[in-house]
Chains A and B, each alone.
Chain A
Amino acid sequence: MNLTLFGQTLVSGLLQGGIYAQIAMGLMLGLGVLGIINFAHGEFLMIAMYVTLIVFRLDINPYLAIFISFPLLYFLGVILAKYLIIPILDRETMAQFLIMIGLSLVLMNLAMIIFSPNFYTVKAALTGKTLKIGEIIIGANRLLGFAISILVTGALLWMMQKTELGRNIRAVSQNRYAASLVGVNVKAIYQIAFGISLATLGISGPFLTPIYYVSPNIGSFFILFAFAIVIVGGMGNFKGALVASFLIGLADAFGAVLLPGSTGPILPFIFLILTLLFKPKGLFGGSGI
């Protein structure tokens, strides 16, 4: 492995990690606050991507889709929380998990029926543009995706730490009974938190679509990595998740380059299993939210 290849793989892994982070952050919020294992998280990204596709097909700049996908996913989140998720919060983990798998199947196949199983791509202003640093080449689309990811993470952190809403969310996630005693509307907080959890995908969708393609099963590509990140980073630890995203992204990229045949994707998974064995609370400890 020469230096250029190493550098290129490093950059590619970090960029990929940034993309994983966007998806993991929202997942973490839902998991940390409501305790719901949202297996359908990737499918909500898919919805945002189809929104982007439709906008693009209408000859509008695909990045503008954010003005539709962001509010759409927020409201979807609020409604789902109200009618599907809050009613099952007292049920055992297995039932919750299976319901979310059911939701994932429903959304995926609904998309297949509406949009056909075909693949579609979206071209944005930056498509095909690259940035060159020495021998290392960076796709402009990926770089933008990366920047958005850092922004989303930063915004979430700021919201959780500095705003009234964030304080309430943290209070509910730490002790919902105590929070309700001091006058926090727990149900409302749940709905808002889940809404935000999905709305982050509404931001990601328009920026990820030009890098990938849109298809009904696009969400399932990301979901296992997103879960791995949440666990490696430590449940409820946003900063930990950000670092874990990069680690998983790097494991993914270096796995592809170093491991034989198509065994590359095993590396992130082995990383996950090792973390669970030796640091079951995550590399950086679960902090709650």
Chain B
Amino acid sequence: MRAVIAAAIGLVAAFAIVLLVTAVGPPDGSTSPEPLLTTVPAHP
């Protein structure tokens, strides 16, 4: 019984951490203030 509980704790923890991380997700950032280029840049 204790083994089942231990396994369940591990499983729930794995689901919880993955669900939490995916729910937060990566940030979108913001629109760059840089313009669309109309000159040839000297370097990247």
Partners in one complex: no
Which residues of B are at the interface with A, using a C-beta cutoff of 8 A? none
Which residues of A are at the interface with B, using a C-beta cutoff of 8 A? none
